Chains A and B, each alone.
Chain A
Amino acid sequence: MASLKAIRKRIASVKNTQKITKAMKMVSAAKLRRAQDAATNARAYAEKLSELMRQVAASMSDTPHPLLQRRERAVGRVDLLLITADRGLCGAYNSNLIRRAEQLLADHGRERVHVTFVGRRGFDYFKKRGVVIADKHINLFGGPDLALARRLADHLANEYAEEKTDAVFVLYSHFRSALSQVPTVEQLLPIVPAAVSPEGVREYVVEPDAATLLDRLLHQYVRVLVHRAFLEAQASEHAARMTAMDSATSNAADMIDRLTLEMNRARQAAITKELMEIVSGAEALKG
Chain B
Amino acid sequence: MAARLVLRIVTPKQPILETEVQEVTAPGTLGEFGVLPDHVTFLSSLECGVLRYRTLQREAAVAVRGGFAEVRANVVTVLADDAVLAEDIAPEAVRSDLTSAESVLKRAAFGTPEYAEAEERKRWAEACLAATRLRPAG
Residues of A bordering B, CB below 8 Å:
38, 41-42, 44-46, 48-49, 52, 55-56, 146, 202-208, 212-213, 216-217, 220, 223-224, 227
Which residue of the partner chain, among B10, B11, B41, B45, contacts A213 with CB atoms under 8 Å? B45
Question: What's the Cα separation between A208 and B81 when bound, in Å?
Answer: 18
Instruction: Say yes or no: B45 contacts A48, CB within 8 Å.
Output: no
Instruction: Say yes or no: A213 contacts B79, CB within 8 Å.
Output: no
Q: Does B25 contact A (CB under 8 A)?
A: no
A206 to B, closest residue via Cβ: B43
Residues of B bordering A, CB below 8 Å:
10-15, 28-30, 33, 40-45, 67-68, 70, 72, 77, 79, 81
Which residues of chain B are near A227, meaning CB under 8 Å?
Answer: 12
A40 to B, closest residue via Cβ: B14
B39 to A, closest residue via Cβ: A205
Which residue of the partner chain, among B11, B41, B68, contacts A202 with CB atoms under 8 Å? B41
Question: What's the Cα separation between A223 and B13 when bound, in Å?
Answer: 12
> Contacts A49-B79, A208-B30; is A42 near B41 (CB within 8 Å)?
no
Q: Is the interface of A mostly helix, strand, loop or mixed?
A: helix
Which residue of the partner chain, among B15, B45, B70, B72, contacts A41 with CB atoms under 8 Å? B15
Instruction: Say yes or no: B15 contacts A44, CB within 8 Å.
Output: yes
Instruction: Say yes or no: B14 contacts A41, CB within 8 Å.
Output: yes
Question: What's the Cα separation between A13 and B33 when bound, in Å?
Answer: 69
Instruction: Say yes or no: B13 contacts A42, CB within 8 Å.
Output: yes
Instruction: Say yes or no: B14 contacts A48, CB within 8 Å.
Output: no
Which residue of the partner chain, among B12, B29, B44, B70, contacts A45 with CB atoms under 8 Å? B12
Instruction: Say yes or no: B43 contacts A213, CB within 8 Å.
Output: yes
> Contacts A49-B79, A202-B41; is A207 near B68 (CB within 8 Å)?
no
A204 to B, closest residue via Cβ: B43
> Contacts A45-B79, A202-B72, A217-B68; is A52 near B13 (CB within 8 Å)?
no
Which residues of chain A are near B43, meaning CB under 8 Å?
Answer: 52, 55-56, 204-207, 213
Which residues of chain B are near A146, meaning CB under 8 Å?
Answer: 12-13
Question: What's the Cα separation between A277 and B42 when bound, in Å?
Answer: 99
The distance from the CB of B74 to the nearest CB of chain A, in whole angstroms, is 14
Which residues of chain B are near A220, meaning CB under 8 Å?
Answer: 67-68, 79, 81
